């Protein structure tokens, strides 16, 4: 199953620009429709960004990208965070799926701003 998801994701993010190319919005939509592989993908991306943010914070706290409260974020919450973000910034939803990590980072910065 994981190999299928990786192959699918690679196919979605490659190829010529065109009307049939998938977008970040498509990936979020498939996850919202209950496709567990894409929910897992978004969860993994979110946890990766979270790990990078924590690593930066260990080095110098004032350099963190965002200030997540001391809670564990679930896959459904990552989906809501990125879904809300692309609703507010539709141009980011039109980016190719290979840029989903960047969109997730921007979504987490928006969801958990540092005060």
The encoded tokens of residue 110 equal: 């928006």
At 112, the pLDDT band (50, 70, 90 cuts) reads very high
Distance CA 30, CA 23 (A): 11
What is the pLDDT, as a whole number, of residue 4?
37
> Rounded to the nearest 5 degrees, what angle is found at the Cα of 40, between the Cα atoms of 4 and 35?
70
What is the pLDDT, as a whole number, of residue 14?
47
Each residue of 36-73: pLDDT tens digit? 999 999 999 999 999 888 888 776 666 788 988 888 99
4-8, 34-38, 71-75, 96-100: which has the minimum mean pLDDT?
Answer: 4-8
For residues 78 and 46, is the Cβ–Cβ distance under 8 A?
yes
């Amino acid at each position: 199953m994981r190999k299928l998801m990786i192959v699918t994701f690679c196919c979605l993010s490659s190829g010529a620009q065109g009307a049939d190319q998938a977008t970040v919005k498509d990936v979020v939509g498939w996850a919202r429709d209950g496709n567990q592989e894409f929910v897992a993908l978004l969860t993994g991306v979110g946890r990766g960004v979270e790990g990078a943010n924590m690593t930066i914070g260990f080095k110098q706290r004032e350099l963190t990208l965002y200030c997540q409260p001391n809670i564990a974020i679930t896959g459904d919450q990552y989906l809501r965070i990125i879904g809300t973000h692309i609703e507010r910034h539709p141009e980011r939803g039109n980016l190719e799926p290979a840029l989903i990590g960047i969109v997730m980072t921007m979504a987490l910065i928006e969801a958990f701003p540092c005060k």
